[in-house]
Structure 1
């Protein structure tokens, strides 16, 4: 797992030591000797993780971290403070500034490398989502960066898995000051609880009686519904080795007992902020996909999706020896609606038309806006007779009730013409099926409109 690590320290000996440790694990290491240089490198997206010293001459590490985490261009880069400062106040100050971890020198090679690898996996996942979501800006969707930098990380839903009453009562009391907390003292029920609860964070004790907490963490990572929920592990100091193993299997962060109140809240906020950010990225990706295949006005699939999916449906029908019906629908005299009542009225008609189409077809049928006022409906496992009945029902649905326009101020009569055909020849090109349906539609319009005409294969 290669990644580019930025080491920021004004002491050359410290830089050389970290550089040697990381290079031995095949990480690509770059260095900066002060905060200003580090900020510039980070803004150019030249690093995946930043190892940051606190005591530096131009600006200290706390200020550098704060600037990184409040800049939309750099807030997603993991920051680990590596410093000789060892007081709880210093550690909490670093976490409050947004650091993902705070390691006190001298740091063992095992702890350092485990932490860097864990954060590298996280950064690569986030980068992939950011890359996929980049087009969301081009199609007018809001990027999540600016909301992410002002997110406090409070108000999350947390599941605490701990079977020691004295422990979970104290932890729950601390966390309840900022979050909604559920406690699950039965580890065998915890995974089911986590899967059903839509949580922002799982906090798991690794010192459970008669149950392996790491196995629970591993199961949470393998289950689809909890795969992306961050995990904060808590363990007694003698179990620190197991915590490092936890980082390898997907634990996001950890705490050693006795748990410091401020540190617990800071680490919980960090994980919840990151969860919200990645969820927003995933939503953007999903919305981008939906927008790419959906007609914005009607909410039906667009022509691009229809042409791709129709080929798949036709292949399935041929392979299974099942019929496939296809109809092309055209709103009669649609141009006159736009000319007489305005394009807003035309849009009202198109939206309502799509609603009535959805009500008239099955869930497995494919309804698409083909272009302008033309629509295509594809009906798997449907012969010409049944498709004709559906088409006639849809025609009556359109003609039977006037369409409201201008926010309901006026109602107008609308009719449609439908051309209908089926795919019945194995391996027939979908283009030929569309042409046949289009020919049937032409006949319907030529014969007086407001009718269904079938064209047998």
Structure 2
């Protein structure tokens, strides 16, 4: 995996050593010797990973540099690994609380460092893809800047659900004691009512199950694919630690578990998960906006053609017939002119709600524009489509529209033209044209009726 890595250390020998190690794996290396320089370089160059020494003379140290990096929208998503000769738990916890994803002690174990680098870069690729899609959505106008995920408070503590997968009662009790203050902690097999987990803590030294298999299954399962995993390993078992990271664990913690350290690591992992969840949610919303008519909540014209085209093509090749209804609200312009566009919009929304409740889950109800609507009915012959259209027409005509703020109820009727696929030379355009011709005939012959053109001639 090629990526750009920023190495920050005040000693040139250390920088050169890391540069040689990383370039041997084809990473592009940038270097800085001071904390302030690193912050500005990261802001300008946007590296994929930062390896940050703590002890730097003058200016700001590594902890403060990390805090500044995590406070800026341009750099807060970049993983930071703090490197230091300090091996006490206070400094380790301090680094994690500053926002670092990892804390490694010098002299650096080459194999363990590269395993961490690869694990964090894999995660960074996912984040970058989500951010790129969000940026595209913002440029297209389907995502606004309000409430953007980059504005999420990086230091706020959010309560979450923690799933513990362990068979050591003493260790479980320590995890519950540490994380139970801020989070809801449940044990595998006893998580009823706990809700979906935001973090899994998995022991790879368990005797009653294979912790590596648990991690692998979580990483491949649909429901747990994006779940952050914190693996518990022995301090002298480098092989298991690296294996856990290779299988998909996002982080590791050494036994015996330090309560402040697991609190800090849990916060980091869950904060990152919420950031990525927010990005995915916004992308889902942007996709919905791209295919949805904002006034009525029905599908829009773009979605209509993307769904109808393959259905017609399958029908051409001998597949199931597809039918469509072309619907027009009768005298809608008169309604707008008499009561105003606000009332007209309310009529459109009410009609859309009734339309949605009178179509099957497999049908696609779309607003084509103005007061014109199309319903795509897969695997439906013309006679069945005509019956459904008549049922819809009666449902609209039989109940007046009650519009908030309007003293009188409105009588609303619709005209419907129905067409279904007919023959190998049928196209999307010809199907829509015949439905429009049927709709025009319904309006010409008095409105509030259904006309079907299920073949080449009018039905």
Report SS of the residue matched to 1:414.
coil
Residue of structure 1 equivalent to 2:243: 245
Report SS of the residue matched to 1:29.
strand
Q: CA 1:443–1:198 in 2, change beyond 3 Å: closer, same or farther?
A: same
The structural deviation recorded for 1:144 is 3.6
Contact 1:69 1:75 in 2 (8 A): yes
The structural deviation recorded for 1:322 is 2.5
CA RMSD of aligned residues (A): 1.8
The structural deviation recorded for 1:360 is 1.2
CA separation in 2, counterparts of 1:67 and 1:45? 16
Residue of structure 1 equivalent to 2:181: 177
Give CA deviations for 1:111-151 in whole Å, capped at 9, x if unaligned.
11111111000101110111111134332434543443345
Contact 2:70 2:154 in 1 (8 A): no
CA separation in 1, counterparts of 2:318 and 2:222? 32
1:453 maps to 2:458: no
CA separation in 1, counterparts of 2:371 and 2:409? 19
Residue of structure 1 equivalent to 2:118: 117
The structural deviation recorded for 1:41 is 2.0
What is the aligned counterpart of 1:280 among 261, 278, 281? 278
Contact 2:46 2:74 in 1 (8 A): no
CA separation in 2, counterparts of 1:242 and 1:373? 64
Matches within 5 A, 1:135-150: 135-137=136-138, 138-141=141-144, 142=146, 144-150=148-154
CA separation in 1, counterparts of 2:34 and 2:387? 76
Residue of structure 2 equivalent to 1:61: 62
Report SS of the residue matched to 1:55.
coil
Contact 1:71 1:149 in 2 (8 A): no
Report SS of the residue matched to 1:419.
strand
Give CA deviations for 1:219-241 in whole Å, capped at 9, x if unaligned.
11111110100000012223331
Matches within 5 A, 1:367-386: 367-386=365-384
CA separation in 1, counterparts of 2:143 and 2:109? 47
* Equivalent pairs, count: 451
CA separation in 1, counterparts of 2:43 and 2:177? 39
Residue of structure 2 equivalent to 1:30: 30
Q: CA 1:77–1:143 in 2, change beyond 3 Å: closer, same or farther?
A: farther
Give CA deviations for 1:351-410 in whole Å, capped at 9, x if unaligned.
111111111111111111011110001112222222111111111111111112235654
Contact 1:391 1:418 in 2 (8 A): yes
Contact 1:75 1:149 in 2 (8 A): no
TM-score, normalising length from structure 2? 0.94
Contact 2:154 2:271 in 1 (8 A): no
CA separation in 1, counterparts of 2:286 and 2:38? 34
Q: Which runs of 5+ in 1 are unaligned?
A: none
Report SS of the residue matched to 1:110.
helix
Residue of structure 2 equivalent to 1:414: 412
Give CA deviations for 1:301-331 in whole Å, capped at 9, x if unaligned.
1101101110111123333443221110001
Q: CA 1:259–1:321 in 2, change beyond 3 Å: closer, same or farther?
A: closer
Contact 1:419 1:453 in 2 (8 A): yes
Residue of structure 1 equivalent to 2:74: 73
CA separation in 1, counterparts of 2:406 and 2:207? 66
CA separation in 1, counterparts of 2:195 and 2:239? 30
What is the aligned counterpart of 1:152 among 138, 156, 160? 156
CA separation in 2, counterparts of 1:291 and 1:139? 6
Contact 1:207 1:235 in 2 (8 A): yes
CA separation in 2, counterparts of 1:58 and 1:232? 34
Residue of structure 2 equivalent to 1:9: 9
Residue of structure 2 equivalent to 1:289: 287
Q: Which runs of 5+ in 2 are unaligned?
A: none
Contact 1:136 1:284 in 2 (8 A): no
Contact 1:153 1:272 in 2 (8 A): no
Q: CA 1:149–1:70 in 2, change beyond 3 Å: closer, same or farther?
A: farther
Q: CA 1:410–1:14 in 2, change beyond 3 Å: closer, same or farther?
A: farther
1:338 maps to 2:336: yes
CA separation in 2, counterparts of 1:263 and 1:284? 32
Residue of structure 1 equivalent to 2:171: 167
Comparing 21-30 with 397-406, which one deviates more in the overlay? 397-406
TM-score, normalising length from structure 1? 0.95
